[in-house]
A and B are shown apart, each in its own frame.
Chain A
Amino acid sequence: MTTLSVIDLQGGYRESVPVFSEVGFELDRGAIGVIGRNGAGKTCLAQTLSGALTTTNGSILLGGRAVEHLSPRARVSAGISLVPEGRLIFGQLTVRENLEVAVHAAGRGEKRIAAMEEQFPILGHKRSMRGASLSGGEQQLLAIARALVQEPTVVILDEPSLGLSPIAVDNLTVALRQVLDEGEVAMVLMEQNGELLTGLCHSVLLMDQGAITGTLDMGDPADQDKLFESYLGV
C-alpha cells in the first residue's frame, strides 16, 4: 500500500479561485520535493494536504484511506503532520510545553518527547526556555520535533530553510537526513533551497503557476544540474 497518494488534487484559498490543480504524485518512503518560485502554490498545496485549506477536487489517500474531507485535527490523528511556513512555534510556551501540547493534540503518548530530545539535544538542553528565546535554526528544529512527536506517517514541511543562515540550513539537512534514515516517516518537502532538496529527496516535482510541470530524479546527475539551472539561476 502506498503511504501517500495524491490524485488530481485541486485547492485554493477560495473555492471559486483554484490556486493549483491536477496535482498528483505517489510517495512510499523517503522524501519527495516540490520546488517552485514564490506564488507557485507550494504553501497552498502544503496546507491542502494538512487540511488547513479545503480540497476542492481530487483526493488524498493516506495508506489507502481517503483523508481529503478530514479536519486538520483528524488528519493529525490519522498520521499527517505539518511543519508550517515560518515555523509558527508557541513563543510564550517552553520548549517542552511546545512538544507536550502537540502530543496531546494528536492523542499520542509522551514517550516520543524523550526520544526527540535525544535526537535533537539542543531541545533537551533548552527544555525550560520559552520558544521565542530560541534562535531561528533552533526554532525550526522545534517545529520539526513538534510535528514528529505526533508520530505521523507523513510530514509536510513548508519551506523549512526560509530565513535560516547557511550553517543552520546545513544542520537542518543533517537532522532531516537522520530522521529519514530511521525510515519511520515519509516527507513532502516544499522548498526553494536546492541543497536541501538534493540532500534529502529521491525526486523533485517542478511546480509553476499551480501546475506540476515536470519531475526530476535526484539519483540522476543530469537532473540535479537541471534543478540548479532552471530554478536557482546557478
Chain B
Amino acid sequence: MDLFLTCIVTGVTFGLIYALAGVGLVTIFRTSGYVSFAQGDIAAVALYIGIAAYTADVPYPLMALIVVGAAGLIGGLIGGLIVIPLERHGLLTAALATIGVGLTIQGIENVTINPEPRAFPSAGSRAAFDVGPVTLSVADVTAAVVCIGLFIALALFFRLSRTGTAMRAANDNAEAARHIGLSAYRLKGLSWVLGGALAGVCGLFVAPAYSLSPTSVNALLVFGFATVVLGGFDSVLGALLSGLIIGISTNLIAAYVAPGAVNFGMYVLLLGMLLVRPYGLLGQRPLERV
C-alpha cells in the first residue's frame, strides 16, 4: 500500500512538471500551429546562465528569475528572428527549423563549455511535510505550487484576456487576422517568449533531478510532447490532466512492472489515445463547413 501511495504522490509532483512542459508547447502551438522542438535546448542555455550566476553567489530565488527571464528572451529571439520568418515557406519548414536550432545550440554548448553533467541546485532539499508515506521536500512543494499557479494564470490568459483571444484568432485564420488589423508576428513572438519562459521554469524543476548537460533537459520535451498528444494540442486544461495521468502511470509502471518499461508504457498510452481520440482528451475537434 505504501508503495502504491508513493507512486501516486511522486506521480503527481512529476506529472505537474510534465504538464507545464506540455503547456509551453501548447502556447506556441496555439498561435503558430506547430510544436517547438527547441524547448529543452532553450531551457539548457538559460540553466547554464543560471548556474554561472549561482556559482558567483547569486541567491537561488534571483538565479531562478534570471533563468526564466533568459529563457523567455532566448525563446523570443529564436522565434522572432529564425522560426517565424521561416513560416512563409510552410509550417513544416518552421517546425523542422526548431529541431535545427536545438541541435545547433547543443553543438555550440559542446564546443564552448564543458559538456560533462553538472549538479544543479534545487529550491531546497529540506523536508517540507509528509503526505502518507512520502516526505515532500521544499523543492517538491515549490514546484507543485508554481505549476498550479501558472496553470490557472495561463488558462485565464487564453480564455479571458484580449491578447489571448487575439492569439487564438491569429492561429484560426492568419489572413483574416491580418485584414482586421492584428499583427500576427507580434502575437507569435509573444507566444515564443512565453513558451521559452515556461521551458525555463520546467528546467529549474527537472535539472536538479537529471543534472545539467547540453542534452539532459531534453527529457522535458519527450514528456511534454507526450502530454500534449494525450491532452490535446490546444488545451491548457488537457495538458494538466494528461500530465498527471502520465506522471502517475509511469510511476506505477516503474514500481509494479519494470523501470525499463516506462517509455514503452507511455507510448502505448499515446498510441491508444491517437486511435480512440485523435484530438486528445480535451482537444477541440476543428469545426468545418463542408
Contact = CB atoms under 8 A, between A and B. Distances in A.
Q: Does A pair with B?
A: yes
B162 A91 contact: no
A104 B182 CA distance: 9
Interface stretch (A13-21, A71-79, A170-178, A199-207): A71-79
A104 B166 contact: yes
Interface residues of A, number: 32
B289 to A, nearest CB: 6
Nearest to A134: B289
B287 A146 contact: no
Interface of A: 50, 52, 72-77, 81-82, 84, 88-93, 97-98, 100-102, 104-106, 130, 132-133, 136, 146-147, 150
Contacts of A136: 289
B175 A101 contact: no
Nearest to B163: A104
A41 B181 CA distance: 23
B116 interface: no
B173 A91 contact: yes
Interface of B: 162, 165-166, 168-169, 172-173, 175-183, 284, 286-289
Contacts of B172: 90-93
18 contacts: A72-B181, A89-B173, A90-B169, A90-B172, A91-B172, A91-B173, A91-B287, A92-B168, A93-B165, A97-B165, A97-B168, A100-B162, A101-B166, A101-B182, A104-B165, A105-B180, A106-B180, A132-B287
Given A52-B179, A72-B178, A76-B181, A93 B287 contact: no
Contacts of A73: 181-183
Given A89-B176, A90-B176, A91-B173, A132 B181 contact: no
Closest 8 interchain pairs by CB?
A: A76-B181, A132-B287, A88-B176, A105-B181, A73-B181, A90-B172, A104-B162, A101-B169
A52 B179 CA distance: 7
Nearest to A105: B181
Contacts of B179: 50, 52, 72, 82, 84, 88
B176 A76 contact: no
A73 to B, nearest CB: 4
